[in-house]
Amino acid sequence: MQVRVARHAGVCYGVERALELATEAATSGRVVRTLGPLIHNPQAVSALKERGVEVAACLDEADDGTLIIRSHGVDPAIIDEARDKGLDVVDATCPFVSKAHDAARTLDAEGYTVVIVGEADHPEVEGICAHAGGHAIIVQEPTELPERWRRRKVGIVVQTTQSLSRLEAVVAAILPRVAELRVFNTICSATTQRQVSAEELAAEVDVMVVVGGHNSGNTTRLAEICSEVNPRTHHVETAEELDPGRFEGAVLVGVTAGASTPDRQMRGVIDAVEALG
């Protein structure tokens, strides 16, 4: 059984930067906490805990030491509050997420009704919404738009890990309803590269394996995209989740990984798949 890895797969710059900042903070000798999981990858978060980096579910759980703002970003008021508490704040917000923050803030300041294409309960979207003044409309599909909804000026910003097709669908649905539409395509290039290369590979292989956290939005979307062209797509976090029975009769297996999946984690799955054949 042969294994082929997608051209673009695995940890992106923003996640790698966040991990490096957290690892560096762990050597300071101070108490170090991340505000929520640093990234949506349980194995990486567990590895950080072994280095002494704890997770604070909320700001009330961080009274001293260093507080790391996770890659998804937060409401700027939270950073101000953390500094007022005397915490040493390390901002590990992904630069692409920061661009989405800037776009949302600009649209709100210029009087646009802000629409965010993304998951309403995702921490990244919550942060973008806060930068838009806290009153943005959040949708993933055109059907989620309010009925008979009309606005003069609408501005769109998108969660960095969403797919281009989803953004295009929402834009097409809003355009006939408004006099002016401004769109910031804030999908990060790493997300697009991984989605395109994963889809291409999934169409060429017998079985497709997507590696990454089950709680990771970008990894889940990779699995969804691959499943559309290859029903034998399997989303796993680690090699232990591989089911040998799912590879029966397979000659060529494709592997990709989400942008929040460290290389070592992907490599472990690749080695396990190769051992099956």
- Exposure string (b/e) for 7-35, b if CB count within 10 Å is 16 or more? ebbbbbebbbbbbebbeebbeeeebbbbb
What does the pLDDT read at residue 150?
Answer: 80
Domain 2-10+190-276 matches domain 96-187 at the CATH topology level: yes
- Asked whether residue 277 carries a pLDDT value surpassing 80, the answer given is no
Axis-axis angle for helices 95-109, 13-25 (nearest 10):
110
Looking at CATH, the fold of the domain delimited by 96-187 is given as: Cobalt-precorrin-4 Transmethylase; domain 1 (3.40.1010)
Confidence (pLDDT) at 1: 87
Round the average pLDDT of the chain to a whole number and report it. Answer: 95
For 144-157, what is the mean pLDDT?
90
pLDDT at 38: 95
**What pLDDT score does 146 carry?**
87
Q: Among candidates 95, 25, 105, 97, which has minimal Cα distance to 67?
A: 25
Show which residues are catalytic.
124
Locate 38 and state its tokens: 């640093």
Could you tell me which residues are beta bridge partners of residue 254?
4, 208
Match 């590696």 to its residue by tokens. Answer: 211
- CATH for 2-10+190-276? 3.40.1010.20
Amino acid letter, 209: V
The fold of 13-93 is: Rossmann fold (3.40.50)
- Cβ atoms of 127 and 160 within 8 Å: the answer is no
d(CA 13, CA 16): 5
Please compute, for residue 155, the number of CA atoms within 13 A of its CA located in the half-sphere on the CB side.
21
